Structure 1
């Protein structure tokens, strides 16, 4: 899954990387958590005359998708992620997959390796970023939820796929990363049906990301500084205790 990520790039770098016409200034964010506003990119309705730049615009949405048909969000689970394998057919995401696909700019994401109960080890946090640096774009979905009084809330979720072999030892899922050459195709909900962009929802190349062990300070929402990404030496994973052989007690008497 993807439950935390960061966007610390300069606004101008994000604008260039995502092909935006304009983008308001925003602060670096090192610990973005569910229910907070996240920056997303959607396809626009027009293209500037004489420009080869596609019409895309940025907006803020609440991280945690709420389908339009939900009556009371308080009684509906928080959908921060959508499984790419089932999103096309699942009721919560079907309409968004067809009509409201988005890009979510990021500098990287956080994940935790959680040892089995038998090993009795400690969870280890990782900062997972592209080896080449820069801004990446997660595949996302968007829905606008309307309340009975007419107020509206734009909401979004990040699509995930089974992790590649490099990330799998840490976690079994990872966010979908859309390559720059596929931005327009992913955002084109007019001529590209969900089945036609299904091939874009795949794990990143094995060497695309690097995973850096970090401290558990990232676990706390109140911690928001750049020091969250400072590397640490991870503790060795605890090994399960060996069970004594049935005859160990007898042999000790010989």
Structure 2
């Protein structure tokens, strides 16, 4: 799953990598949590030889358009790749509203027995920003107010993450950005092959302080390596498939 991530790249880097026409400035964020605003990139109208892609801020925690009571609806910050095209909460977004979620890395917690879960920061080995596969929706309350929201698609863990957790967010590679975003040219069935684990060498796992457990902690020290000389992790006997104690849970019924 993905319950916390970071976006520390500059706006200029993100605009260049995602071929954005424009992007407002934003500060580095080291501990982004569900319900907070996140940056997403959506398809837009093409302009000359530019992609026409547009950026938006939305709530992390997808709310389908058919929801009647927002307070009673569970927090859906992840969407499983193996059922995203079929489940009611995600089916329409998978068809019509796919997006990219820029990131610099994400956090995951390793649980062994009853010991306190240990956090790790997963970042690309080349230190470049990247993009998660995302879905977005626009919800309107009975009173007429609107809320745009998004979820991050997850899949099985690769060899790097498997010793820590059984699942990981889907990373869309730059050569596939257009295919993922263009829902007119590429129906849901034509992009399912993108919802696979990242290459085993893409991320490195860095043990970090449990200060990341608290959303109020937001500084760069959250990514300082902890015990860098520790022996490599052994694979888990049975990697956890549920939210850790430090990340908000979400229901899998949708």
Aligned runs of 1:116-135 on 2, under 5 Å? 116-117=113-114, 121-135=115-129
Aligned runs of 1:72-221 on 2, under 5 Å? 72-117=69-114, 121-221=115-215
Instruction: Show CA shifts across 1:168-198 (max 9, x none).
Output: 1100000000000000000001121111000
CA distance in 1 between partners of 2:132 and 2:110 (Å): 21
SS across alignment from 1:89: coil
Instruction: Show CA shifts across 1:94-150 (max 9, x none).
Output: 000000000000000000001123xxx332100100000111000000011100111
Aligned runs of 1:54-73 on 2, under 5 Å? 54-73=51-70
SS across alignment from 2:175: helix
Instruction: Show CA shifts across 1:43-83 (max 9, x none).
Output: 00x2223xx22110000000000111000111111000000
Moved over 2 A (4+): 234-237
Name the structure 1 match of 2:11: 11
TM-score (norm 2): 0.89
SS across alignment from 2:102: strand
Size of the aligned set, in residue pairs, is: 231
Name the structure 2 match of 1:243: none
How many angstroms does 1:166 deviate by?
A: 1.4
Give RMSD over aligned pairs. Answer: 1.3
CA distance in 1 between partners of 2:124 and 2:41 (Å): 20
Unaligned runs of 5+ in 1: 238-254
Structure with bigger gyration radius: 1
